[in-house]
Structure 1
């Protein structure tokens, strides 16, 4: 059964984000391939869709905790798709689309940074770790700011300048609107993070590694290690 407390936590507006324990270290992108040395069998991958917003505490915990951990271990077996939009709302004003985010303008801008990273890096592995790093708020503040984008880029070997420029441009607005439309396709979304594994809702209180391993018909060695 889904956690009722979680349902309220990211459904209602929250003005502050508590500090979150840093669960993972973010890799230098040049060395990222070390995490993907397992070859899939017959190209089998599990589709993992994550609908989220950058300032939601539950979303932050999910990304820097189980998602990063699992993706490091068996990323080659996961077809990851990220949707940085969450509980934002789209309205039309004077013929223009206006997006209002649950945690205010800072979250809308942070979501644009995430969307632009996905668009510019064109590598979901790089995007996940980079966006997760921004969500940590390691350098103070709520996370997913220009400062986070810059510092995460420096620590991971990613040029953050085009990502920041994109977030401040019409391209960033268009990308956020795109993810809004994709999120609105969900019929029963009630909270975030809203996580689907091969199209089926996953309760993020459960063990993500275990669920993905159970879904694979030919699981890699880390699956056996995690069940010990």
Structure 2
């Protein structure tokens, strides 16, 4: 135990000395993914604090599910302007599930399925790419945000993957998209969407802890942040106005 504490303190001091170092080559979403990345990016203290807060969290996170389609303007707006920013701020008390399918129609074709999408074949391709990403990398949310915030959703896919998941090759991704795995994953999205109660009438369609009501939908669309804060049953985190405010005093000094 003493050795572990000494090791952590040593690494902590090193990280503070090397803070804001150009040696950090990881995107923010991966800064706390390992000790090495935390040290390189000078955020060991912040990562330890975040882990400590999570370990003391006893209430279940608020689970937000988004049923959407990749080229739906309203879906793109909600995902990029409301859902991801809220998740960035409240990731310790909320979880997110994305279901790319929306108003598509599924038809059996032998042992596989074919799909007709509301915004045409490009949307079917976008839905499939995002479905495969969700199954292939833990950085899928970041990549999907990158795609959906671009003026060209499909055209941005390759560059977004290179930024957030460089280990995922285009060949590997497209093998899923065009193969049996992607087809079956999309079938699961179809089943999940068709099983919604009440049945979805539009997209984006939001459920909170598995429940959809027009009141919850309206609140999610107007301020998902406030909705998650209000529905979380545990002690409110600082971002929600909790009693214990946390200050991240980490500066890049002018040397």
TM-score by length of 1: 0.75
Describe how 1:137-148 pairs up with structure 2 within 5 A.
137-138=150-151, 141=152, 143=153, 145=154, 147-148=155-156
Give 1:62 deviation, angstroms: 0.8
Partner of 1:86: 102
Query: Which residue of the other structure, out of 46, 63, 68, is the alignment partner of 2:62?
Result: 46
Q: Alignment length, in residue pairs?
A: 191
Greater relative contact order (Cα < 8 A, sep 6+): 1
Give 1:198 deviation, angstroms: 1.3
Unaligned runs of 5+ in 2: 1-26, 34-42, 243-255
Deviations 1:135-161 (CA, angstroms, capped at 9, x unpaired):
1225xx3x1x2x422111222243242
8 A contact 1:51–1:83 mirrored in 2:
yes
Distance 1:62 1:41 in 2: 28
Describe how 1:108-147 pairs up with structure 2 within 5 A.
108-121=124-137, 123=138, 126-138=139-151, 141=152, 143=153, 145=154, 147=155
The structure-2 alpha-carbon separation of the partners of 1:32 and 1:104, relative to structure 1 and needing over 3 Å to count, comes to farther
Distance 2:109 2:185 in 1: 19
Unaligned runs of 5+ in 1: 1-26
**Higher mean displacement: 158-167 or 97-106:** 158-167
Structure number, greater radius of gyration? 2
Deviations 1:114-140 (CA, angstroms, capped at 9, x unpaired):
11111111x3xx2211111111225xx
Deviations 1:85-133 (CA, angstroms, capped at 9, x unpaired):
0100112356753211111111111111111111111x3xx22111111
CA RMSD of aligned residues (A): 2.3
